[in-house]
Amino acid sequence: MNTNKLSDTLKTFTFILTVFAITACNLGNKNESNDNSTEVSQTISENGSIPDSVVQFLITSAATDFHTHQPPTPTDFRSVQIGYLKAANNDKNYILCGEFLSKENKEWVEFATIKTSGYEQYIGKTQYCQDAIMVLTNKTALSNKLKSKFEELRNNKN
């Protein structure tokens, strides 16, 4: 009878230990997912937002530059996003990055438009967009805004 009691005690102990181990594992997973969401929200709040006047300025500047300096001639835009580069004095230099489809070469080409005292536009892959802190935006919406502005300028020319 003592062996039955010992066996029951060991089974109970094993059961409790197993439940404890499973519970501990699940709590660890919850903590990891909470840490990830904290990371994301910190990234979002760190990035902040960009004033609409800056967005409009960069869209207009990019469209005007594409309209004025051809070739290459854009036929479409994609993956347009906005962000900023941190200057040495912690100021933000705003940047519009994306790709345009070249009419001449039929290939997607990267570009960057940076707000300076005016603006600077670079065609081709640059380090600027890779170094920029991008603000979460709808890339399709920005691409469509840029395309609309470019087409508006092209239609006003005629």
pTM, full prediction: 0.65
So what's the pLDDT on residue 7? 64
Residues 42 and 58 in one domain: no
Range of the domain at 84: 52-157
Q: Coil, helix or strand for 26?
A: helix
Residues 29 and 70 in one domain: no
Q: Are 74 and 100 in contact (CB under 8 A)?
A: yes
44-79 CB burial, b ≥16 within 10 A, e <16: eeeeeebeeebbebbbbbbbbbbbeeeebbbeebbe
So what's the pLDDT on residue 29? 45
Q: Across the 158 residues of the chain, what is the mean pLDDT of every consecutive 10-residue run?
A: 64 58 51 38 48 93 92 92 90 93 92 93 91 82 90 81
Residues 36 and 80 in one domain: no
Give the span between the Cα atoms of 92 and 148, in whole angstroms: 27
Residues 13 and 57 in one domain: no
| Helices 52-68/139-157 angle, 10° precision | 50
Query: Which contacts (CB < 8 Å, 24+ apart) does range 37-44 have?
Result: 44/136
Residues 36 and 106 in one domain: no
So what's the pLDDT on residue 77? 93
